[in-house]
Structure 1
Amino acid sequence: MPIITIHQPNYLPWPGFFHKWMLADVFVILDTVQYHKNEWQNRNRIKTAQGEQWLTVPVNYRFPQRIEEVTIASPLWAKKQIASIEQAYAKAPFFQQYWLDIKAIMQAEHANLVALNVALIQHLGNLLGCTAPLLLASDLPITDTDPTARLIKITQHFDGDVYLSGSEGEHYLDQAVFASHHITLKFQQVSPPVYPQLHGDFIPYLSVLDVLFNIGEGSHSIIRNMGDMRS
């Protein structure tokens, strides 16, 4: 039963993003929907000695642009973020092992926000042992604008028997509609992992960088054991 999952291209995503990828046979990046300000497409959080800190990529956006159309506003954005990450994690046990390659991706020129996010997601996924192919919705011959129809068409495109939704999907997805198309609807069920961190009391829901720099190769096991999927 091929499991298809779909997710918007978040910036330096939290561990649950990669857990969802680990459960799937195909992972589609949904870059064809409308961009929303102040969500996760252009920002995430790290932990510093002063507590949590937002990392935000400045973007050029006009309503109602799709995510794939949003460009990066300033070529200088990376310099400040790199300094913040280096200051926060320089003493983390596995920082030096992973940082230079991640830094190089941040410093490179990217055509748009999706290109940056996907480059980071693909690299981080490789480090974490995510093996399912990662594909862009914008590369697929699917033009449906109805949200449910779009999910079904993408799943059918890959001959999927199971569509894996995030946990919030149970509040708006109709299992009967998926069943009418011979697709079983499953939901990701996770709890944020707890692991040794720098800088005092534990803070959950940070970027996956926090796990990777603190735990190293053990990050795969910690993330995979966050939970599973349910009907």
Structure 2
Amino acid sequence: MAVHQPHYLPWLGFLDKLDRCDLFVVLDTVQFERRGWQNRNYVAGRGAPVLLTVPVSQGNRDDRILDKSIDNTQKWRSKHHKALAEHCYRKAPYWSEHEEEISLLYAREWEDLTDLALATTRMLMRAFGIETPMVRASELGDFSGQKSELIAQICAKAGADIYLSGEGARNYLDAEILARHGIGLEWQEFRHPVYRQHQRDPDDFVPRMAALDLLFNAGPDSLRILRQARA
């Protein structure tokens, strides 16, 4: 299984982790990261990448992700929809196949950041054909641990015996703590695929965009391209 904080319009590394595990726990109980990826991501514009950010209520520095509400006094929905539909992907090969679902996503007035992030994740999972079950950590119970201990407690509660971790956790994840809970550790070692981006020359590829970028450019071939990069 894997555990990861919710991301708005998640990138391909996030989807790769989803595709490689048999249960995905959305870690919504930890502190919200300002200038993190829970409420923003990049899409490929005509020139430089475009950063789409969902404004959130100020709250306290210790606010958990699940407590974070969206600041709808700002016109972020129309801005994000216009960026995707007009500036970034209007002429992409597979934009029209997903245009209606994108429009419906931004027609809804979202209040809770995690709900929005999960909606964008599920939309991408459907489009890619990823069927891994997802559950929120807050639905599994209360966990007192931090970092490695927290991951171990969540895995144990979910009945996992292998934890799939991203490379970013190598500096803090303690395999011995996981082992004490009877949980093995595997590293994702994600390799970013290279594909044709419709507004760029083949030798001018821009990685680490939201996974929508691959979807709008490759359509039904997106999951094969993502999996092929692993080899």
Give the alignment's TM-score, normalised by structure 2.
Answer: 0.93
Percent identity of equivalent pairs: 35
> C-alpha distance in 2, partners of 1:163/1:122?
22
Show structure 2 runs of 5+ residues with no match. Answer: none
Conserved? CA contact 2:24–2:134, under 8 Å: yes
Task: Please give the secondary structure, in 1, of the residue aligned with 2:188.
Answer: strand
> Is 1:65 matched with 2:63?
yes
1:27 is the counterpart of 2:24: yes
- What is the root-mean-square deviation of aligned Cα atoms in Å? 1.3
1:50-129 equivalent positions in 2, closer than 5 A: 50-61=47-58, 62-74=60-72, 76-87=75-86, 88-129=88-129
C-alpha deviations, 1:155-205, integer Å up to 9, x for none?
112211101111122221111221122111111111211000022221000
Aligned equivalents of 1:145, 1:176: Cα separation in 2: 15
Partner of 1:40: 37
CA contact (8 A) 1:12 1:208 kept: yes
- Contact 1:142–1:150 at 8 Å: present in 2 too? no
Corresponding position of 2:143: 143
User: Does the CA contact (< 8 Å) of 1:44 and 1:206 recur in 2?
Assistant: yes
Q: Does 1:10 align with 2:13?
A: no
State the Cα deviation string for residues 76-120 of structure 1 (Å, max 9, x = none).
211011111112101101001012112212221223100101111
- Whether the aligned pair in 1 keeps the contact of 2:28 and 2:137 (CA below 8 Å) is yes
Kept in 2, the 8 Å contact 1:16–1:226? The answer is: no
Off by >4 Å, runs of 4+ in structure 1: none
C-alpha separation in 1, matches of 2:143 and 2:175: 22
Question: Per-residue deviation at 1:72?
Answer: 0.7
1:42-100 per-residue CA deviation (whole Å, 9 max, x = no partner) reads 11001111221101111113211000111111252110111111121011010010121
Deviation at 1:146, TM superposition (A): 1.7
* Mean Cα deviation higher: 75-84 or 88-97: 75-84
Contact 2:143–2:153 (8 Å) recurs in 1: no
Higher strand share: 1
Q: Is the 8 A contact 1:102 1:120 kept in 2?
A: no
Equivalences, count: 225
CA distance in structure 2 between the aligned counterparts of 1:103 and 1:28, rounded to whole angstroms: 28
The code of the aligned residue for 1:224 comes to R
